[in-house]
Amino acid sequence: MNVLTFIIDLLCKKQIYVPLVSITIGLFSYKVIKKALSNLTKNVKDSYEIKKRKTIVELVSNFSKYILVIIIGIIILEAYGIDTASIIAGLGVLSAVIGLAFQDTLKDFISGITIILENYYIVGDYITYNDFTGEVIELGLKTTKIKDANGQVMIIANRNINEIINISQKKSNVYLKLAVAYEHDVDEVENVIKEILPLLNKIKYVTSNSASYLGVDELGDSSVIYLVKLESLQDQKWQVKRDALKIIKKEFDRNNIKIPYPQIEVHNE
């Protein structure tokens, strides 16, 4: 009974229950915030918008974690009778000193927030820094990590965003040269191509309604070349081209339009 009383008395002390309750509430609040933020990515179909929201979720989540730690720390200090008002006032002076000593770090923090608000780039974008090109795999308040095709990871201070080129948000034209046998009527082929354009507009990463038919581009040795243009994100243009050619091949086959093989005429004298 004495042990139970001792435990109850111990838990009733402000120095014990306040930290326990504060930390518990803090952890619960953090989980609630993370869950609420994760809902931002639900029911979003656009891939770019999903990447953007995930980046915002990550940044806000990290920021809220730091804020909760500071608040919990102040509450615990007050429970132990420490004058937090004087500490906060002292922190004001200290922050000014730290601000002068760590100007670059503060620039990184401010730039990290600016990157999101101004939509410079997000996690999943491909960016170029000096001669290094890679995918943004992590965006923090201080640094950005990018990984190239060889798996090398570069860490860039956020304050250097003015030196970064975002190639994901830049639009790129994709030109498709379609070789068709001479035996086909030009008007017939052009009608089929125009019927294919709506299918090309549905390809992932293709700019809405950007597919267009430009006309006969060339009279080749064994085929007539028809030219089609698409617009897509620059880092996805090769995948867009592959997807488009697959669709065109299927539709040409369905309409019995032949893509000729190179032919060589041999004359025996």
Q: Is residue 262 part of a domain?
A: no
Write the pLDDT tens digit of every residue in 114-131.
776 667 777 778 888 888
Can you say how many angstroms the Cα of residue 80 is from the centroid of all Cα atoms in its chain?
A: 45
Whether the per-residue pLDDT at 191 is higher than 90: the answer is: yes
In the block, which residue shows the tokens 């046998």? 181
User: Are 176 and 248 in contact, with CB atoms under 8 Å apart?
Assistant: yes
* Cα dihedral 55/56/58/60 (nearest 10): 160
Sheet hosting strand 171-180, strand order edge to edge:
171-180, 224-233, 212-219
How confident is the model over 74-86, as pLDDT tens digits? Answer: 777 777 777 666 6
Q: Look at residues 211, 114, 199 and name the one whose alpha carbon lies nearest to residue 159.
A: 114
Nearest CA to 222 among 254, 187, 264, 194? 264
Q: In the predicted model, what is the mean pLDDT of residues 234-252?
A: 88
> How many domains is the chain built from?
3
Q: Is 203 exposed, middle or buried (0-12, 13-18, 19+ CB in 10 A)?
A: buried
Is the separation of the CB atoms in 213 and 194 below 8 Å? yes
Domain with 161, as residue range(s), is: 118-166
- At residue 250 the predicted structure's pLDDT band, cuts being 50, 70 and 90, is very high
Residues 85, 151 within the same domain: no
**Mean pLDDT value across the chain:** 78
Q: Determine the Cα–Cα distance for residues 179 and 177; give it in Å rounded to an integer.
A: 6
Asked whether residue 151 falls in the same domain as residue 199, the answer is: no
**pLDDT value of position 242:** 92
Residue 266 has pLDDT above 60, yes or no: no
Q: Residue 203: inside a domain, yes or no?
A: yes
Q: Do 160 and 243 share a domain, yes or no?
A: no
CATH number at residue 241: 3.30.70.100
Is pLDDT of 254 > 80?
Answer: yes
| 6: confidence class by pLDDT, cuts 50, 70, 90 | low
For the cut 60, the answer to whether the pLDDT of residue 265 exceeds it is no
**Alpha helices (runs of H) in the chain, residue ranges in sequence order:** 2-11, 14-38, 47-79, 84-101, 103-117, 186-201, 237-254
The model carries a pTM of 0.47
Q: Is residue 197 part of a domain?
A: yes
Torsion from C-alpha of 55, 59, 64, 67, nearest 10 degrees? 180
Evaluate whether residue 265 is within a structural domain: no
pLDDT tier at 193 (50, 70, 90 boundaries)? very high
The DSSP code for 40 is: G
Average pLDDT, stretch 2-12?
62
DSSP 213-233: EEEEEEE-SS-EEEEEEEEEE
Residues 146-173 pLDDT 10s: 888 788 888 888 888 777 888 776 677 8
> What would the pLDDT profile of 11-49 be if each residue is shown by its tens digit?
566 667 777 777 888 888 888 877 777 776 666 655 556
Residue 128, phi then psi, degrees to nearest 5: -120, 130
The DSSP annotation for 64-117 comes to HHHHHHHHHHHHHHHHTT--HHHHHHHHHHHHHHHHHHTHHHHHHHHHHHHHHH
Same domain for 41 and 7, yes or no, is yes
